[in-house]
Amino acid sequence: MAGTRGEKGSILTVLKSIVQEVNQIPRLTDALFRLAVRVKETMQVDSCSIYLADYTNQEFILKATDGLAADAVERVRIGFSEGLIGLVGQREEPLNIENAHQHPRFKHYPEVKEEHYNAFLGTPIIHQRKVLGVITMQQSAMRKFSEDEEAFLVTLAAQIALEISNAETRGALNPHAGMYVGAMQKNVRGIPGSPGLAMGVGYSPHAAYTLNTWIVKQSDNTQQEIDYYRKGVEITRTQVEALSDRLEGQVPDDVRAIFQLYHQLLDANSLGREVETKIREGWDAASSLKLVVEAYAARFEAMEDPYMQERAIDIVDLSNRILLNILAEVKGKAVTDRDRPQQACILVAEEVSAPMLAEFPREFLAGIISVRGSNNSHAAILARAMGVPAVMGCQNVSPTLLEHKEILLDGYAGEVIVSPEKAIRAEFSQLIEEERVLSERIDSEAGEACETQDGCHVSLMVNAGLSTELETASASSGQVGIGLYRTEIPFMLRERFPSESEQVALYRKILESAPNSEIAMRTLDVGGDKPLPYFPITEENPFLGWRGIRLTLDHPEIFLVQIRAMLRASIGLKNLSIMLPMISSVAEVNEARRLVEQAFFEVEEEARHQNVTLHRPRLGIMLEVPSVLYQLPQLAKKVDFFSVGSNDLTQYLLAVDRNNSRVASLYNSYHPAVLSALYDIVKQADQHQVPVSICGEIAGEPGGAVLLMGMGYRKLSMNAFNLRKINWVIRNVNLTEAQSLLSCALTSDSYEEVYHHINQYLEKRGLGGLVRAGS
């Protein structure tokens, strides 16, 4: 058997071939049948079968087979705790048996007609810790499958798991594609981006209509779809001819010859014949084009000739033009034209951008879903500043699938419910109403001092940078300072480094917005997930690479210009603090201090000549790299204050990339280890008499604020939208109980247990409406 496979190529080559072929098949049931056939042929076994899990009914359903009785498909249902299939699912590991009939868990299902099969190998199909199904191989001979055969099946199961998960979601959201038969309601998991609950209709203002993102659909109206396709091709042919004519005399004739390929592809006897065949099989025009073209492109890409590989790009480009023209024909207008929203909408996009949010009518913006992005992306930060619920990183859906669908969005849990059932919708509406009533109560008491019931005062500050006017307005006319001003945002919104005078004007406006309150400006913190378009950084692992203070110390010309701009902007004012990001050693602080001193003496001399006063700013560092936790005594001698960046500190302590949706569930600032680190920081800071604040997301969450207060933090910086809520929380608790809650949290085994303690406490204090907000 191994020899036969060797003649066909390596196992890896065979695996790639099978997976690629299966991925080209749009309907999941068809793909699974083809998978069973290919595995049976390749491994030379008597049977291959695939069962998928139905969690509603707690059973595995036979979805495809080559070897068992064909009429058993969809009829055979095996309970999660029944038979060998159930055992594979329970154990979540392969099961390799010489004689299946003798196994104590064997259960006979007469419908499948497997009496003559003895050898059994089954392995679970698992995606993100969830068993999606089981794939099996069976043989008449009484033998154990080899280690190579077992490894092949395990590897194959891992490769197809993601496709099955994606197909399940797509099919539930788009049942006409025929990919998956299930309930119309579908829950999609993402990353919590901005807290809150929202209900609205999916709206995608910049949906990219390409073959890659187009979701296949079926249609019964064959002739109409053929007419749509032919009209789309005719319009495309006219456009291609116009493009070719426009380039005449501007480019060499051999370059213009590429349009000859376009004309050949547009000929009805080549591409068109196959597309129309697909339409007659029941697909709509756009879907038929996708199926044919992607198969062509895959063939070209697999060729060794670089010229032919490039032709795959030409085919896809041309076909995207045809697709747009088909859709324009179907819709009766250009696909770029969009009706402006007239009702509560959930904004959906591949990646929601700040300009996209700015353009969207605020009165209709109920929530945000971004297919890509994290809870620390600029869209998420701006959403929190605006008070709009958001879910990020919903990676197995596309904006076109959510268009015009009713959506319930839970920004606390990072969950999206599409096409909800009536009972779920009613329950969600009740939760939204409870939030509204609670919000009104909080707003009515917004002017009260931020002090606990037993007299502990806490200063609240704002994290600013993305929407300066909105955030400084929330600073209550100068009564609230800025604990973190992200200076990198103006750098990111330009096509070049901003000049010193441009920076001076911007920083002056910020400093004057609250002249009697502290303004902590963080020096340029780019790299990681915040690249500059004109200063690209390509790294294997950007979060552990050239970012923050590392980059600016390597470019003192950038650092000095920024520090000079801050100092010049602060002339005549006393509220500037300068904060250094991503510090990992004392040496970095020493070097940065030297440059700050150099800039200070330069600007001070200028100020003296102009007869104005320059006050020395306070210099602080961000505590976000774990190494500095063990050098706090040395660092305390070098700086005026500490500011804890709990977002990055959490990421580095837990070794979790917070932008990676696969491990996003592991990123949690309530992890007992993170809480212990935060507690240790404030104890050391107090011991060395260095003021300490915290400006990560945990400071703006009700449960987090209570725990931080219990630790000893007295200065919390957060998004402007959370100020009133945290003020209200602190005024309704007392310090002694917060310290008791902290003790429970620090001795917990997991963040889930910490949440449990927080929720219990908030319920006991009559703050049950904030339970969701606290977790």
pLDDT in tens, 515-528: 999 999 999 987 65
- Contact 210/313 with Cβ under 8 angstroms? no
Decide if 108 contacts 97 (C-beta within 8 A): no
Bridging pattern class, strands 119-127 and 390-392? unpaired
pLDDT, residue 171, reads 55
- Could you tell me the two tokens for 640? 């005026």
Q: Which long-range contacts (CB under 8 A, 24 or more apart) does 96-99 make?
A: 96/120, 96/121, 96/144, 96/145, 96/150, 97/121, 97/144, 98/142, 98/143, 98/144, 99/142
d(CA 583, CA 525): 11
**130-139 and 47-54 strand pairing:** antiparallel
d(C-alpha 60, C-alpha 55), whole Å: 8
* Strand arrangement, sheet containing 406-410: 186-189, 415-418, 406-410, 197-203, 345-349, 365-370, 390-392, 191-194
- Torsion angle of the four alpha carbons 511, 512, 513, 517, in this order, in degrees rounded to the nearest 10: 60
Tell me the pLDDT tens digit for each residue of 154-181: 989 988 887 787 666 555 545 444 333 3
Q: Which of 49-63, 404-418, 562-576 has the lowest mean pLDDT?
A: 404-418
**CA atoms of 495 and 502, how far apart (whole Å):** 14
Could you give the percent of the chain with pLDDT greater than 70? 80
CATH of 186-205+338-438 among 3.30.70.3040, 3.40.50.170, 3.50.30.10, 3.90.440.10: 3.50.30.10
- Output the furthest CA–CA distance in the chain (Å, rounded): 100
Rg (CA), the chain: 31
Residues 6+ apart with CB under 8 A from 8: 14, 42
Give the least confident one: 525-534, 659-668, 723-732: 525-534
Which H/E stretch holds residue 189?
strand 186-189
Spatial contact of 448 and 457, defined as CB atoms under 8 Å apart = no
d(CA 727, CA 730): 5
Residue 694 — pLDDT band, cuts 50, 70, 90? Answer: very high
Range 329-356 average pLDDT: 68
Find out if CATH 2.40.50.100 is the number for domain 222-331. Answer: no
Q: Give the pTM.
A: 0.68
CB neighbour list of residue 422: distance below 8 Å, 6 or more residues apart? none
At residue 76, the pLDDT reads 95
**What is the Cα–Cα distance from 318 to 117, expressed in whole angstroms?**
51
Task: Return the minimum-mean-pLDDT range out of 158-172, 441-455, 578-592.
Answer: 158-172
Residue 306, SS3? helix
pLDDT at 530: 61
Of the candidates 13, 23, 15, 78, which has an alpha carbon nearest to the alpha carbon of residue 49? 78
- Band the pLDDT of 299: cuts 50, 70, 90: confident
What mean pLDDT value characterizes the chain?
83
Q: For residue 542, how far is the Cα from the chain centroid?
A: 17
Extended strands (E) in 561-696:
576-580, 618-623, 641-644, 692-694
Q: What tokens were used for 722?
A: 């959370």
Q: Is the pLDDT of residue 390 over 50?
A: yes
DSSP secondary structure letters along 420-431: --HHHHHHHHHH
Is 394 an annotated catalytic residue? no
- Confidence label for 627 from pLDDT (cuts 50, 70 and 90): very high
Model pLDDT for residues 106-146, shown as the tens digit of each residue: 999 999 999 999 999 999 999 878 899 999 999 999 999 99
192 pLDDT tier (thresholds 50, 70, 90): confident
Residue pair 358/388 in contact (Cβ under 8 Å)? The answer is no
**CA-to-CA distance for 616 and 221, rounded, in angstroms?**
76
Residue 254 predicted with pLDDT over 60: no
Over range 637-643, report the average pLDDT: 98
CB 303 within 8 A of CB 321: no
Q: What is the average per-residue pLDDT within 429-446?
A: 85
The region of weakest confidence among 95-109, 240-254, 287-301 is 240-254
* pLDDT mean over 360-381: 80
Domain residue extents for the chain: 2-177, 186-205+338-438, 222-331
Note the pLDDT tens digit of each residue in 21-31.
Answer: 777 777 788 88
345, 394, 450, 695: which is the annotated catalytic residue? 695
- The token pair at 420 is 């909800």
Instruction: Answer whether residue 78 shows pLDDT above 80.
Output: yes
Give the model's confidence band at 10: pLDDT under 50 very low, under 70 low, under 90 confident, else very high: low
Query: Mean pLDDT lowest for which of 328-332, 333-337, 344-348, 689-693?
Result: 333-337
Helix, strand, coil shares of the chain, percent, nearest 5, are: 50, 15, 35
Say if CB 241 and CB 306 are below 8 A apart. Answer: no
**What distance in Å separates the CA atoms of residue 727 and residue 459, rounded to the nearest whole number?**
9
Verify whether residue 695 is a known catalytic residue. Answer: yes
Domains 2-177 and 186-205+338-438 share a fold: no
The third-level CATH classification (topology) of the domain covering 2-177 is Beta-Lactamase (3.30.450)
Buried b (16+ CB within 10 A) or exposed e, 527-544: bbbbebeeeeeeeeebbe
Predicted local distance difference test score (pLDDT) of residue 8: 37
Catalytic residue from among 378, 394, 450, 757: 378
599 sits in the region (left: phi over 0; alpha: psi -120 to 50; else beta) called alpha
pLDDT tens across 648-681, in order?
A: 999 999 998 766 666 767 888 999 999 999 999 9
